[in-house]
Amino acid sequence: MKDIKWFLKILVVFFSAVILSLGHLSLFAGEYENMVLIAEGPFVMGSDMGGADERPGHTVNLKAFFIDRYEVTNADFAKFLNDKGNGMEEGAYWISIGRGGCKIEKIGRQFRPIEGYENHPVVMVTYFGVQAYARWMKKRLPTEAEWEKAARGGLVGKKYPWGDEIDTIYANYERRKMGTTPVGIYPPNQFGIYDMAGNVGEMVSDFYSKKYYKISPKTNPRGPETGEYRVVRGGNYLSHSGGLSVIRRNGGPASYISLPNVGFRLVKDIE
C-alpha cells in the first residue's frame, strides 16, 4: 500500500510539472475525453496595439479548466436533440431546423445531420440552445478570457493561434470554402486545440462591452453583469484575415437569434 501511495504521489508531481511547463495537458478520457486541460496561471489578454475594444493589453489570472478540443458538431447536437427535443425560449427554437445554413434535419421524430455534414460545426443555434446543450453535457460556455487563453496556445504577442502569418493552410476564411468545413482538418495550436480561428465564430458566455477591458478584474473575469449581446470570438468562413486574430472581439447576436456562421465549444471545471 505504501508503494502504491508513493507511486501516485510521483504521478501527481510529474503531471503537475508537465502542465506548468506546457500550459496544458490532454491525456484524458471519460467525461474529459477530447478536452484539453489549460493550466492555472496568468496570460496577457488583448493588446495595446488592438482596436478600441481590444485595449489595453492586461494580465489576467485564470483558474485551470478543460476546454473542448473541437467545436461542437452537427452529430453531437443531433444526439442532444433526440434526447431533449428542440425546445423553445423567448419565441425561438434552440436550433433553426430548415433555415439556411442549418445542417440538421428532422425526419419523422428523429433529428439527424444532413449527409456529409456530420462532422461540421453545428450552427443556427441560439444562446438558449447552447445553454441547454451545455447543461445536458454537464459543461458550460467558456468565458471570453478562458477562450482567448486557450486560443493563444501558449504563444505570447502573436496575432493568430499559430503565429503572425496567415494562409489558407491554417484556417477556413474569406469565403475560400463557401461554407463550413469539418472540424479538425486544419492544424491545431500548440495546446492541441483545433479551429480557434476561422470556420465558425464561437460564442462565449460574456456580454459584450466595448469598454470592459478598462475595468476588467485581474482574476477570472466573467464579463459585464448585463448586456444585450454576447461576445463571439475567432472569426469565421466569411471573415477577412484580421477577423481571425486572437484578440478580435465581436458583439454577437441577441440570445434568441441564430446565425449560419456562429457555433461554439464548451469548457468544464475541474471537479
Q: Per-residue pLDDT for 270 more than 50?
A: yes
Number of domains in the chain: 1
Q: Per-residue pLDDT for 8 more than 70?
A: no
pTM for the full predicted model:
0.89
243-261 residue pLDDT tens: 999 999 999 889 999 999 9
59-79 residue pLDDT tens: 999 999 999 999 999 999 999
151-170 residue pLDDT tens: 999 999 999 999 999 999 99
Q: Name the nearest CA neighbour of 187 among 214, 173, 169.
A: 169
Cis status, amide bond into 56, omega within 30 of 0: yes
Alpha carbon distance 233, 196 (integer Å) = 8
- Residue 86 belongs to some domain of the structure: no
Instruction: Please report the pLDDT score of residue 178 as a whole number.
Output: 83
- Residue 242 belongs to some domain of the structure: yes
Alpha carbon distance 262, 232 (integer Å) = 8
Whats the size of the chain, residue-wise?
A: 271
- Provide the terminal-to-terminal Cα distance of the chain, rounded to the nearest Å: 25
Q: List the domain range (segments joined by +) for residue 38.
A: 2-69+145-266
- Residue 131 belongs to some domain of the structure: no
**All 3 cell numbers of residue 177?**
470554402
How deeply is 5 buried, as exposed, middle or buried, from its count of CB atoms within 10 A (0-12, 13-18, 19+)?
exposed
- Residue 80 belongs to some domain of the structure: no
- Reduced to 3 states (helix: H, G, I; strand: E, B; else coil), residue 123 is coil
- Residue 262 belongs to some domain of the structure: yes
180-226 residue pLDDT tens: 999 999 999 999 999 999 999 999 999 999 999 999 999 999 999 99
Return phi, psi of residue 251, to 5°.
-75, 115
Return phi, psi of residue 121, to 5°.
-65, 140
Instruction: Please report the pLDDT score of residue 9 as a whole number.
Output: 36
Alpha carbon distance 211, 230 (integer Å) = 14
Instruction: Please report the pLDDT score of residue 37 as a whole number.
Output: 98
- Residue 136 belongs to some domain of the structure: no
Q: Tell me, what CATH number does 258's domain have?
A: 3.90.1580.10
- Residue 65 belongs to some domain of the structure: yes
Radius of gyration from C-alpha coordinates of the chain: 19
- Residue 203 belongs to some domain of the structure: yes
